[in-house]
Amino acid sequence: ATFGTLSDRLTETFRNLRTKGKLSASDVDGTVREIRRALLDADVALPVVKDFTAKVRERALGDEVNKALNPAQQVVQIVNEELIAILGGEQRRLEFAKNPPTVIMLAGLQGSGKTTFAGKLAKQLQGEGHTPLLVAADLQRPNAVTQLTVVAEQAGATIFAPEPGNGVGDPVRVARDGVEHARRQQHDIVIIDTAGRLGVDAELMKQAADIRKAVDPDEVLFVIDAMIGQDAVNTAKAFQDGVDFTGVVLSKLDGDARGGAALSVASITGRPIMFASTGERLEDLEPFHPDRMASRILDLGDILTLIEQAQQAFDEAEALKVAEKLATETFTLEDFLEQMQQLKKMGSMKKMLGMLPGMGQMKQQLEDFDEREIDRTEAIIRSMTPGERRNPKVLNGSRRLRIARGSGMTVTDVNQLVQRFEQAAKMMKTVARGGTPNIPGMGPM
């Protein structure tokens, strides 16, 4: 996953440091050297790396570390703070216009994920009660309008596109007409998808700049593929000079990118990263929080994002009901099934588990986690009678055989599920009582 190697190397560096009491100047230099190498290997731009390591070094040699009770911990804290700084510091949200519609223009290379992001953003805004209009001003790629139409449909948003078969069309006019249309139809937000090229070129820049001039957007979001590595800096600079933008969207952060783009773009351009796109589904969009991202990189966990996602997927009344059942020990396999369906709504288990602190050290288990496990578990529970789901104690050999046949699994699978359920119920009971479940490998940093 993104930042995987960087994260591993930084945590490894700090682990070595942790065995030391006081830190000598050469301990600090060694640590800074390793951080520097790790960042360069992750494709972070050289000027950013230089600046970052100089700051860390200076602070690590200063009094705040010297006087700290736990110097190594203090160094981690410094690296964390400096990481947050290069990721842009504070989180920046979309700014809405005082007089709607708010116009949001997207720019970026072809394939960067603009169209996908347009759909994700529309869906998210729609969920918040807005009425976004998607405008297809990418008339370069033959498929672009169709693709945006599909995305709009999935997001349940309205699209404004030039009539098909209407010749080449003028993207600037489409953009302007789109905003006009939104005003008339009382859409409070307009999202304009623009054309990209595979590489930066003058014509593309001019078109984007012309659209910007014509519609005077409230936000211009530059979408950049996190996987493009060292090219990120040049691409970002070219767009900043050619069109300029108010914020950055990092796409494909779910991929195997080394993360350099993320760590370079904000500090090179001075523009905040506002969103992280983390998958192909429309739900896979997160607001970008520099502090949470830094925590993820340093494997300090990202509990806040996890909780927010849980809150989006779970209904509060539902959660109370479950807590009540756990406390009174009436939690059954039927509830378990329901919970699993809720979990599926939250998206990938792997992604969620990866946000827990210390999970970096459990990488293999994470990799081995099979998302289909949930489906198999569901199949088994569905093959049980309501009575069996409520009281698994009645599950004797012949019942287990019947369930195995019914679900296409083996008796061993059924046995394992029942056993796992009992363990999970026990663990959840501990949590419900306010305790900490004992998950192996999750020791404190």
Nearer to ligand GDP, 115 or 158 (CB): 115
Nearer to ligand GDP, 275 or 336 (CB): 275
Nearer to ligand GDP, 125 or 224 (CB): 224
CB of 277 to ligand GDP, least distance (A): 3
Residue 54, token pair as written in the block = 């100089």
Burial 354-380 (b: 16+ CB within 10 A, else e): bbbbbbbbbeeebeeeeeeeeeebbbb
SS (H, E, C) 350-417: HHHHCCCCCHHHHHHHHHHCCCHHHHHHHHHHHCCCHHHHHCHHHCCHHHHHHHHHHHCCCHHHHHHH
CB of 286 to ligand GDP, least distance (A): 10
Is 260 labelled as part of a ligand binding site? no
Please report how many Cα atoms fall inside a 13 Å half-sphere around the Cα of residue 28, on the Cβ side.
21
Is 348 labelled as part of a ligand binding site? no
CB of 114 to ligand GDP, least distance (A): 3
Nearer to ligand GDP, 107 or 428 (CB): 107
Nearer to ligand GDP, 52 or 222 (CB): 222
- Give contact residues for ligand GDP (rule: CB under 6 A): 108, 110-116, 196, 251-252, 254-255, 277-280, 284
Is 114 labelled as part of a ligand binding site? yes
Q: Which amino acid type is present at position 77?
A: Q
Give bridge partners of residue 316 from the DSSP assignment: none
Is 110 labelled as part of a ligand binding site? yes
CB of 351 to ligand GDP, least distance (A): 11
Cα–Cα distance between 117 and 132 in angstroms, integer? 13
Is 413 labelled as part of a ligand binding site? no
Nearer to ligand GDP, 27 or 283 (CB): 283
Is 109 labelled as part of a ligand binding site? yes
CB of 248 to ligand GDP, least distance (A): 14
Question: Pairing mode, if any, of strands 273-277 and 285-287?
Answer: antiparallel
CB of 350 to ligand GDP, least distance (A): 13
Is 370 labelled as part of a ligand binding site? no
Give the CA distances from residue 133 to residues 10, 34, 160, in Å, rounded to whole numbers and listed in that order. Answer: 43, 48, 7
At 191 the three-state DSSP class reads strand
Is 193 labelled as part of a ligand binding site? yes
CB of 251 to ligand GDP, least distance (A): 4
Write out the H or E segment, with its range, that includes residue 221: strand 219-225
| Cβ contact 135:178 at 8 Å | yes
Write out the H or E segment, with its range, that includes residue 158: strand 158-160
| Selection from 308, 255, 245, 249 nearest residue 275 by Cα | 249
Nearer to ligand GDP, 31 or 251 (CB): 251
Is 129 labelled as part of a ligand binding site? no
In the annotated binding site for GTP, the residues are 108-115, 193-197, 251-254
In the annotated binding site, the residues are 108-115, 193-197, 251-254
